[in-house]
């Protein structure tokens, strides 16, 4: 194992393990197309696992050591994570990273260890999405345009937030669009997680907001230039959009959950409330699993129960 490889991976291990990890990392990047955030998290979780094994066994593990691990060894690692204060969600993510590595090593013929398949994933209660109300979403779009000192920046912010709310895009997807990809027609082709493409319909309100922004934008650097730009004409930094949303929610008295991603939640929740089909919403959002989309039914149930508790005579507490 070279010093360069060790520096890239961020930790030391036996040479045969380091070689396997270097190939696994390249596979995640080139074939799985995982995001930089996911890649960093996976590498960090696997590093923690190997560090645990080094202390647990008294030496850095080799490939033979990894292949001979028993269920009790993996459980000891998970117990250590719990003892260190990691919540269920963090332990589940760590286990997913290590499972991914072992499955890849199995498929690539490097080793086989069935023990990891016997482990139960820590139960994780996924948070219910917190969408904006329809009224607040409309107010936010209007305020986004009128608040900035520079009119074109206001039109940019309105166009961006209208795109997130009107098409259900992730902010990374919206900021990844080039001018030639601008949603000025009936549909928009979106490249989402894992470089998977999907097609979403474009509402007239989205087209109008984007066209108004493009007409007002002082920068026109050609069809391949980013659609959304900053004050100097470069690609708009996601942190700028986050900061502008933070300013708007304070200005409007909205909760901390009012983020750019909440506009995507609002898109899905409002479609579902108006009778949208769950599988169709799954396709529009680009969710790989229907269970991810089903979280929005929890929002509907929660809102329904809130109305029930507020209005039904039997639900009111007698004083």
Q: What angle do CA 232, 238, 239 make, to 5 degrees?
A: 90
The residues that bridge with 229 in the sheet, in sequence order, are 235
Distance CA 265, CA 273 (A): 12
Phi, psi dihedral angles at 86 (to 5 degrees) = -70, 135
Distance from chain centroid for Cα 105: 26
**Catalytic pick from 75, 170, 198, 247?**
170
**Catalytic pick from 32, 139, 198, 261?**
261
179 among known catalytic residues: no
Q: Which residues contact 215 (CB under 8 A, 6 or more apart)?
A: none
Q: Rg (Cα) of the chain, in Å, rounded?
A: 24
Distance CA 287, CA 63 (A): 35
**Catalytic pick from 75, 193, 211, 295?**
193
**Catalytic pick from 91, 156, 158, 287?**
287
Distance CA 15, CA 5 (A): 10
**Catalytic pick from 42, 165, 213, 296?**
296
296 among known catalytic residues: yes
The residues that bridge with 190 in the sheet, in sequence order, are 198
Contact 176, 191 (CB under 8 A): yes
**Catalytic pick from 158, 264, 265, 270?**
264
287 among known catalytic residues: yes
312 among known catalytic residues: no
Contact 88, 122 (CB under 8 A): yes
193 among known catalytic residues: yes
Phi, psi dihedral angles at 199 (to 5 degrees) = -115, 130
295 among known catalytic residues: no
**Positions marked active-site:** 170, 193, 261, 264, 287, 296
């Amino acid at each position: 194992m070279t010093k360069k490889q060790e520096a890239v991976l961020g930790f030391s291990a036996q040479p045969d393990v380091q070689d396997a990890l270097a190939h696994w990392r390249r596979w995640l990047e080139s074939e799985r197309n995982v995001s930089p955030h996911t890649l960093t998290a996976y590498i960090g979780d696997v590093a923690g696992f190997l560090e645990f094994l080094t202390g647990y066994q008294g030496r850095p593990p080799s490939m033979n050591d990894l292949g001979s691990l028993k269920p009790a060894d993996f459980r000891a690692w998970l117990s250590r994570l719990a003892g260190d204060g990691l919540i269920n969600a963090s332990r589940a993510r760590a286990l997913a990273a290590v499972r991914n590595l072992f499955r890849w090593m199995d498929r690539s013929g490097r080793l086989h260890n069935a023990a990891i398949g016997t482990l139960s994933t820590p139960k994780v209660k996924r948070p219910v999405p917190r969408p904006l109300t329809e009224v607040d979403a409309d107010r936010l779009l209007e305020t986004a345009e009128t608040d900035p000192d520079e009119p074109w920046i206001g039109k940019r912010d309105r166009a961006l937030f209208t795109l997130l709310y009107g098409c259900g895009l992730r902010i990374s997807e919206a900021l990844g669009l080039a001018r030639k990809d601008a949603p000025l027609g009936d549909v928009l082709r979106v490249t989402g997680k894992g470089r998977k493409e999907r097609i979403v319909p474009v509402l007239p309100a989205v087209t109008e907001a984007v066209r108004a922004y493009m007409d007002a934008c002082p920068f026109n650097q050609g069809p391949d230039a980013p659609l959304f730009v900053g004050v100097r004409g470069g690609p708009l930094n996601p942190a700028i959009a986050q900061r502008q949303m933070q300013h708007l929610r304070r200005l409007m008295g909205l909760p901390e959950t009012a983020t750019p991603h909440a506009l995507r939640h609002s898109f899905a929740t409002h479609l579902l409330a108006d009778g949208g089909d769950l599988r169709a919403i799954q396709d529009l959002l680009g969710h790989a699993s229907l269970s991810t989309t089903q979280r929005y039914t929890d929002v509907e149930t929660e809102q329904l129960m809130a109305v029930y508790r507020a209005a039904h005579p039997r639900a009111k507490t007698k004083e």
